[in-house]
Amino acid sequence: MRKILVTGAAGFIGFHLSRRLLTDGDAVVGLDNLNAYYDVSLKQARLKLLEESENFRFFRADLADREALKALFAENGFEIVVNLAAQAGVRYSIENPNAYMDSNLLGFLNILEGCRHQRVKHLVFASSSSVYGANTRMPFSVHDNVDHPLSLYAATKKANELMAHAYASLYRIPCTGLRFFTVYGPWGRPDMALFLFTRAILENRPIDVFNEGRMKRDFTYIDDIVEGVFRVLARIPEPNASWRGDSPDPSSSFAPYRLYNIGNNRPVDLMEYIEVLEEQLGRKAVRNLLPMQAGDVPATCADVDDLTAAVGFRPATPITEGIRRFVAWYREYYRC
């Protein structure tokens, strides 16, 4: 039985990953601050399901609380730490930048320090497809530099990758960063497009469609994300013997450090995504076509060859099936 810390355990991905780990027989300590970025009752409902397992313990704290994090690490012999807690959202980062400094930078530093002092065997942390920023070469590859973020959120995620590399180099802490691509599915975040569209359509309100719908996204179903993370946990990174400082590969290092994309590798037109949702709901959406929002990008697509080579897994859930499952959950949960 592995003892694993999952931060952001009441969040969308953290909940699903924790449930998978518990099913597999691991002992999970879940950390979350249950902030009000979105409906706290949804987070509490996720936690209630996790607490049905005797191998789950919940610890409420903020990542930025240095003393609380220090005590948590000191009192538990974590083998693995999965950091999924962060202030999410590209657009929200433009309106509330300080929240991202506290959670995504100071909070991540506290995680790194806990891993350092307690000699954690593997730190796996969430990055984001947002780090690709102004990059336009598709598919997005972990071997390309990502030095032109378009939002503060993206910049903090890039900073997390750099901070983790520094600790991997200085203290030999094995670190793996995972760049997630537009995650969706049951128990999803209410600020994400699928949730917003579904709620608006069922309430007979227009949906906001940015860039007038001329968008492509590598929508990735939650079960595929969790499977990728689960497999990576056992793949402890080692130094890359062929890494060269005169031609540095961003995806690996002379230190025990790796980066992977987790995406569906099948970009979908936003309008097609909406059409599939309309079919599942049995209703048509009234579309409010709007210009591109600040910090957004027109398209994303993940190169997942490195992930497949490392852990033998490639996300494959089609959007028709993923959206069907989401709608079924939404109708049951909200009784509509």
Q: Which residues contact 234 (CB under 8 A, 6 or more apart)?
A: none
Token pair in block for residue 295: 């910090």
219 to 89, 98, 250, 271, 300: CA distances (angstroms): 16, 28, 24, 13, 9
Q: Judge residue 183's burial from the number of C-beta atoms within 10 Å of its C-beta, 0-12 exposed, 13-18 middle, 19 or more buried.
A: buried
Give the distance from CA 212 to its chain's centroid.
26
d(CA 235, CA 222): 20
Q: Which residues contact 11 (CB under 8 A, 6 or more apart)?
A: 32, 43, 46, 84, 85, 189
Residue type, 44: Q
Instruction: Print the SS3 string covering 264-296.
Output: CCCCEEHHHHHHHHHHHHCCCCCEEECCCCCCC
- Residue 250: other Cβ atoms inside 10 A: 15
Q: In the chain, which residue ranges form alpha helices assigned H by DSSP? A: 12-23, 40-50, 66-75, 90-95, 97-100, 107-118, 152-171, 193-202, 222-233, 270-281, 305-311, 319-334
Q: Is 171 a catalytic residue?
A: no
Contact 303, 139 (CB under 8 A): yes
Active-site position among 37, 92, 132, 153: 153
The secondary element (H helix, E strand) that includes residue 127 is strand 122-128
Q: What positions carry a catalytic annotation?
A: 153
